[in-house]
Amino acid sequence: MVDGVSAGWFVVVPDRELPSGVMARLRERASGVLSYRSGRPWLLGSWRADGMVAVSAGGRMLAVVGTSSTTAADLAARLKRAGSIAGLEQAMDGVHGSFHVAAFLDGRGYVRGSAAGAHRLYRAVVGGVTVCADRATTLAWLTGAEPDPVQLAARLAAPNLPYPLAGAAMWSGVDAVPPGEALHWEPDGACRTAVWWQPPPAELPLAEAAARLRGALREAVALRVRPGQMLGADLSGGMDSTSLCFLAAEAGASLITSTLHWDTPGNQDHHYAAHAAERLPRVEALVFPSAELPPLFTGLDERREPGQEPSAALRDLARRQHTAREMRTRGAVLRLSGHGGDHMVVPPAAYIHALLRRSPHTALRHMAGHKARSRWPLGATAGMLLRTQSYPSWLSAAGSRLREPAGSEPRTWGERPALPPWASGQAVDQVAGLLCHTAEQAQPLDTDVGRHAWIHQMREAGRIAGLLRAAGTSMDLPVDSPFCDDAVMNACLTVRPEDAGSPRSYKPLLAAAMDGLMPPYLLERTTKDHCGPDWYRGLKTHRRQLADWADTSHLVAAGLADEDKLRRVLLNPGMHRGGAPGLENTLGVEVWLRDLSAHPVPAHLTDRHPHEEDTVDTVAL
């Protein structure tokens, strides 16, 4: 069993000569090296003893890095069954968790991340040879790459970017390997990508799909539970985090839970969280009144290690640090997060598009429910149902509407990206050009509009889970998101989307999966709280400091933001009607650029702890 939250970093190189200076730089930073029969390094990096399982036999090698159910003996048997690279994924079938896979079989190399995107893969050409890594920052440091200004402009878009732009590497010359695709090296050194994951058929009724989801979630949570260890867990009062707490308790975990008591009038989260805590065994329930925590957006002026990409999850950073510290002092070694639950168990309403062609009566009933709940305009609703716009055409059209707020319009292929009013004309032109260029070659994740949107939504959850994991490690309390395991995603995708997306019930797939494992009162909740007043209060508290950033803004210096408009919104955030994502994305990019200037060399390449990390669970390696 592997706990990938504690894994450090790795680089995989083909069995070919690299410039001596390049390899020397990697060897200097790495505390662990696995080698080919030739003696050349295959996999270099730093990892804890429980961060990797690797096996070899006759020059054939296989490694798993991340949270997984495999052991060295199990992986050795799987390596034996894999006759070739083509049979590798079949041999890996049944390994649960979220992890990277690296292999070298009969002169051919193979590396991939997770299908849900929580473990990502990047590649770059170094000295004429393609190398890959689990972190884009490693390759940027190795190649001396600079941030790509077009990608910086794209990250200003809200609410998010469409496939395949979401999750792109932020550096020129460094490319992201899309989730679900693997990197292949041929014996002559040629490198290509190929799809290794396909979504399962969406044909199961709710009860059968819920049984699969229950099993996948049980396995995912059990992988994180260790005998005698204390786990931290978010207990927001929502169905996602509460489900994980009851599953962890079932697996034998002792829990320290964290609940925020928002002072927003009518907020019910703490009430449901208290109901859950009273029924959980072996739990110490911590409740943090929001008024006693640092205001939102506290700590943005503190420079930290930059992540693989800008993150909009900045507003509650100081609060997460505070609650993590309280959990850690009470013995917690890992924090379970319910992040990803919404994305995995509830499909976007675009499923109605295909449903109309299969079952018009059912589709019209669902459409009426979604229209009423989301207040869709009638014309736009009819357009979503009837329009058959291709994905490339949709991307091109989005590029011509970047100045238009996304609003609450019904979505087809996904959420339409929109740039905020303070984005410069240069930024608009760059993002429009990027969308149009992408449209020339992009293919959707599925020909079904709703299916494409759901898979992309799931992978966005995985991407953010990776960012949360990295942020948690920097707080000395790793964070893991079991909802973003591949098996959980696969289980959710087996359901008929109209059963999981019904507008007349709240998260019906998860409620059915947890039936009998959670108190009925918690499964019957139909509300979801928010922290709007705290959001505005936090901006008001720090608005002078944030407004001062306009004078020294890296975005303004790069020509991507208008200084006066940026200062205006930071001084008066209440006047901004575009919603939180636009402003938070901008702050995320600004903070990332400032952090990058303060930390040009990634911390994971300087913080070496060989006595903790050199060990690897191996068989005949």
Would you state the pLDDT for residue 570? 86
Determine the Cα–Cα distance for residues 502 and 362; give it in Å rounded to an integer. 10
Question: Do 125 and 31 fall within a single domain?
Answer: yes
Decide if 607 is inside a domain.
no
Would you state the pLDDT for residue 540? 86
Determine the Cα–Cα distance for residues 73 and 295; give it in Å rounded to an integer. 50
DSSP letters, 462-498, are: HHHHHHHHHHHHHTTS-EE-GGGSHHHHHHHHTB-HH
Question: Do 403 and 540 fall within a single domain?
Answer: no
Q: Which of 195, 66, 157, 137 is nearest to 600 (CA)?
A: 137
pLDDT interval class at 470 (50, 70, 90) = confident
Span 492-504, pLDDT tens digits: 999 999 999 999 8
Is 533's pLDDT higher than 80? no
Decide if 621 is inside a domain.
no
Other beta carbons less than 10 A from residue 335's beta carbon: 27
Average pLDDT over residues 238-265: 92
- Domain end, chosen from 397, 419, 453, is at 453
Token pair recorded at residue 514: 């947890």
CB 229 within 8 A of CB 255: no
pLDDT interval class at 3 (50, 70, 90) = very low
Question: Do 213 and 229 fall within a single domain?
Answer: yes
Question: Do 17 and 141 fall within a single domain?
Answer: yes
Is 459's pLDDT higher than 60? yes
CATH number for the domain that contains residue 267: 3.40.50.620
pTM of the model: 0.95
Question: Do 516 and 479 fall within a single domain?
Answer: yes
Phi-psi region at 252: left, alpha or beta (left = phi > 0; alpha = psi -120 to 50): left
Decide if 604 is inside a domain.
no
Decide if 610 is inside a domain.
no
Q: Comparing 194-203, 311-320, 353-362, which segment has the lowest mean pLDDT?
A: 311-320
Question: Do 20 and 126 fall within a single domain?
Answer: yes
- Domain end, chosen from 527, 550, 579, is at 527
Residue 249 belongs to what H/E stretch?
A: helix 239-250
Question: Do 337 and 359 fall within a single domain?
Answer: no
Percent share of the chain, pLDDT over 70: 94
What is the sign of the dihedral through the CA atoms of 431, 432, 437 and 441? positive
Question: Do 142 and 122 fall within a single domain?
Answer: yes
Would you state the pLDDT for residue 577? 63
CATH number for the domain that contains residue 180: 3.60.20.10
Decide if 15 is inside a domain.
yes
Would you state the pLDDT for residue 264? 67
Would you state the pLDDT for residue 575? 64
Decide if 162 is inside a domain.
no
Domain range holding 507? 206-294+305-345+459-527
Which residues on adjacent β-strands are paired with residue 286? 258
Question: Do 483 and 397 fall within a single domain?
Answer: no
Total domain count, the chain: 4
Average pLDDT over residues 436-456: 95
Q: In whole numbers, what is the pLDDT of the chain averaged over residues? A: 90
Would you state the pLDDT for residue 614? 46
pLDDT interval class at 81 (50, 70, 90) = very high
DSSP-derived secondary structure letter, 33:
E
Would you state the pLDDT for residue 539? 85
Percent share of the chain, pLDDT over 90: 69
Would you state the pLDDT for residue 5? 45
164 prior amide bond cis, ω within 30: yes
Would you state the pLDDT for residue 185? 95
Q: Tell me how many degrees the CA angle 345-485-582 measures, rounded to the nearest 5.
A: 65
Span 569-589, pLDDT tens digits: 888 876 666 667 888 999 999
Decide if 103 is inside a domain.
yes
Question: Do 316 and 426 fall within a single domain?
Answer: no
Question: Do 232 and 364 fall within a single domain?
Answer: no
Is 425's pLDDT higher than 50? yes
Span 23-67, pLDDT tens digits: 899 999 999 999 999 999 999 999 887 889 999 999 999 999 999
Decide if 383 is inside a domain.
yes
Which residues on adjacent β-strands are paired with residue 561? 423
| Of 58 and 534, more confident | 58
Token pair recorded at residue 568: 């205006």
Helices and strands in the chain: count of H runs, count of E runs: 26, 18
- Domain end, chosen from 433, 453, 473, is at 453
Question: Do 118 and 30 fall within a single domain?
Answer: yes
DSSP-derived secondary structure letter, 415:
P
